[in-house]
Amino acid sequence: MFVRTTVAVLGSAALAAALSGCHQLAGHAANMRGKQLYAQGQTAAAAEEFRRAALDDPAEADYRHNLAAATQTLRGPGPAEALYKQTLALDPDHQPTVHKLAELYLNTGRPQAARALTAQWAAARPGDPRPHVEVAYVLRRTGDPLGAERELRTALAADPNHAIALANLAELQARTGRTREAAQTAAAAKQKDWTVKTPADVRR
């Protein structure tokens, strides 16, 4: 009796694992379709695919983030904010979501919330350059370029090869008239990652 029960449990576990794998594959496929549709401007159809992906694989933060971004385009910041927060509950280190939620706070007149979000992430991840890049973004958007530069240099102290930090530093240097420094920093950013945006088109 005990052996049969054990076999049954193992069989159930194997079945659950197989079903989980199927759901993950289905989620990946739905997310890929959603990204293609979103790139084509078919936002409503993309959102439906992202929703399907999030249902198929609820633990995957990327899918919920993509659903939040599409929802923001379709329905505005309110519904999207809840989804961004759900994404961070799944993965507190999900940088694209921290950025989008901070941006949402700034665009809806809540700079204190944006500062708190990014500062808390930086405090939770000492030595990680990514939170300092996001703190810098918020500080620049709220009129503190000196603070933003300080945060970018902190990020670069942690990782001198961080191309996004270099690109954003180049933009700050260009905005404050330090064109020679900006050109050198932008060149360093491109050397680390040729796809990174530099002062002319770095993310706003």
Cα separation values, 167 from 142, 160, 181, Å: 19, 12, 12
Of 157, 161, 147, 149, give the one whose Cα is nearest residue 189. Answer: 161
Segment 64-101, tens digit of pLDDT: 999 999 999 999 999 999 999 999 999 999 999 999 99
Q: Is the model's pLDDT at 156 over the cut of 50? A: yes
CA distance 177 to 179: 6
State the helix-helix crossing angle for 163-175 and 145-158, rounded to 10 degrees: 150
Contact 65, 51 (CB under 8 A): no
Percentage of the chain beyond pLDDT 90 is 80
Segment 170-196, tens digit of pLDDT: 999 999 999 999 999 999 999 998 888
CA atoms within 13 A on the CB side of 128: 16
Determine the CATH number of domain 1-76. 1.25.40
The chain-wide mean pLDDT, for the chain, equals: 88
Segment 3-50, tens digit of pLDDT: 444 444 445 444 444 444 566 788 899 999 999 999 999 999 999 999
Domain ranges of the chain: 1-76, 92-204
CATH top-level class of 92-204: mainly alpha
92-204 shares the fold of 1-76: yes
